[in-house]
Amino acid sequence: MTNLSCNACSCVHNDDNCCCLNGIDVKGSNACECSETCCGSYSYKDGSAKNNTASPKLNLQIKCAAHNCVYNNNEACQADHVDISGITAVNADDTVCSTFKSK
């Protein structure tokens, strides 16, 4: 499991920079830099809505489609810590995996 920090506070799954999902999907199959990745699990929070069915998770599974990342092992992220950035995000494409590192 990977330790995740996320500053996409406009995401319905975000609670105090933690994700309430058990796992996330990182997209960017042809990515060569972090700006070409995104959190495929991002969902815009409409108003004050939030995921009340789950509590924040510090460690979770990350499915990663960024095959060119050094931390990708058979579509599973092996990084000890991952930062998802998207402080002004309104959709998934506005987020990035800041931990992405090209092979």
Task: Record the tokens describing residue 50, joined without a space.
Answer: 């939030």
Domain ranges of the chain: 1-102
Give the contacts of 61 (CB within 8 A, at least 6 positions apart).
1, 2, 22, 23, 24, 76
> Model's pTM, two decimal places?
0.90
Task: Record the tokens describing residue 9, joined without a space.
Answer: 């506070």
**C-alpha Rg value of the chain to the nearest Å:** 13
pLDDT at 59: 86
User: Quick one: which of 80, 100, 65 has its CA closest to 1?
Assistant: 80
Furthest-apart CA pair in the chain: how many Å? 40
32-84 confidence digits (pLDDT tens): 999 999 999 999 988 765 555 678 887 899 999 999 999 999 999 999 999 99
